[in-house]
A and B are shown apart, each in its own frame.
Chain A
Amino acid sequence: MFLFRSFQSSGEPQGPQGDAVSASGAFARGLRAALNSVFVYVLVGTYIGYGALSHDLGFSLLWAELSTAVMWAGPAQVIVVSTLGSGSTLIQAAVAVALSSMRLLPMVVALLPLIKTPRTRYRHLLLPAHFTAVSVWVEALRLVPGLPREHRIAFCNGLGVGLMSPALLATVVGYVLASQLPTLFAAAVLFLTPMSFFVSTVRNSRQLVDRLAFALGIVLTPLFAFAKFELDLLFAGLVAGTLAYGIHRWRAARR
């Protein structure tokens, strides 16, 4: 028993029988949560559009599928297919993708402390971090606090697989249908991203600090962009988030 315990604390993923069973149970719960999530519709629409766009810009179906699996970030994927077709330089395209995907950093930092345990190693966090995109992040932050800590990583992986699979399928559907889709449809599926980001973030923002941060982010980012500020998204986000946090601290101190 003692040996077994020390074996466990060495961070091996293989737990005792009961743990293994409930870990797969947590994975299945994540899958179910994914399929019940409104993001299934959002992702299917978005990736039908993405599949069609990849087809129109001359990429193979395999490439389109692979890009969804390895990137898993809608706005950045749209940038990649657009720049790859346009003859931009490598650096320009990579910088555009990096700027767009910067949002993933604070999202991962905000999620992982909720799902890791003292025994968790880096390699166990690679998959949940890879699945972190707005869809998974929003649902995980909402649902994970109700789960036992040792099952949260498995739950997040189930959530990720459950949301990525419909997206991969939708990429194929969009790719096949591409030529039959009207421009208005393409515009409508591109609009799914900002609209779903908006309402799902507001739904998750139960505290004043989050609502304030969101509103300030919306207002400040165009101002920073208008001032021709490079890295506008990063700086506006840092300023808006820090301002909201400062107000939160100030209010807490006054109480």
Chain B
Amino acid sequence: MTTTVRELGPYLALLLVGFLPNEIWRWLGIVLAREIDEGSEVLVWVRAVATAVLGGVVAQLVFSPPGALATIPLLIRMSAVAGGFLGFVIARRSVFVGVLGGEIVLVLGDLLWRL
């Protein structure tokens, strides 16, 4: 149980630590989806949970970000999300403009912060 991933070798580690704990959710999804039809009411609930979890992932990545993103102050990360969303709304729901806008706010914000 205290085996470190480094001792395993990279390819066995990819299988045990990367592939299996990731793919298991997809396999479980195939099994659970078997009984559900397109028009069923359960599907509305499942989609709501999936959408809520995505919201949670966004919050996680912004509030406790991985690696290099953590070098950018929280205030700038939050402003970037807000700026991206504003761009998305102004550009009539364009995902491209939303993402680009968020990135511009993030990069310019960080550059100005470091001046």
Chain A contact residues, CB within 8 Å of chain B: 38, 41-42, 53, 59-60, 63, 66-67, 70-71, 73, 75-80, 82-85, 87-91, 93-95, 97-98, 100-114, 116, 122, 125-126, 129-130, 132, 134, 137, 183-184, 186-188, 190-203, 205, 209-210, 212-222, 225, 232-234, 236-238, 240-242, 244-245, 248
Number of residues on chain B facing chain A (CB within 8 A): 78
**Chain B residues touching A, majority SS:** helix
CB distance from A41 to the nearest CB of B (A): 7
Q: Is B72's CB under 8 angstroms from A187's CB?
A: yes
Chain B contact residues, CB within 8 Å of chain A: 1-6, 8, 10-11, 13-14, 16-30, 32-33, 36-38, 40, 43-69, 71-72, 77, 80-81, 84-85, 88, 93, 95-96, 98-99, 102-103, 106-107, 110-111
Q: Is B56's CB under 8 angstroms from A237's CB?
A: yes
Q: Is A217's CB under 8 angstroms from B110's CB?
A: no
- Chain B residues near A66 (CB-CB < 8 A): 11, 14
Q: 28 A-B Cβ contacts within 8 A? A: A41-B99, A63-B14, A75-B57, A80-B13, A80-B18, A82-B66, A90-B5, A93-B17, A97-B21, A98-B25, A101-B25, A103-B53, A104-B22, A105-B26, A105-B32, A109-B33, A113-B40, A126-B30, A130-B23, A184-B110, A190-B61, A216-B52, A217-B56, A233-B56, A237-B52, A240-B55, A244-B51, A245-B44
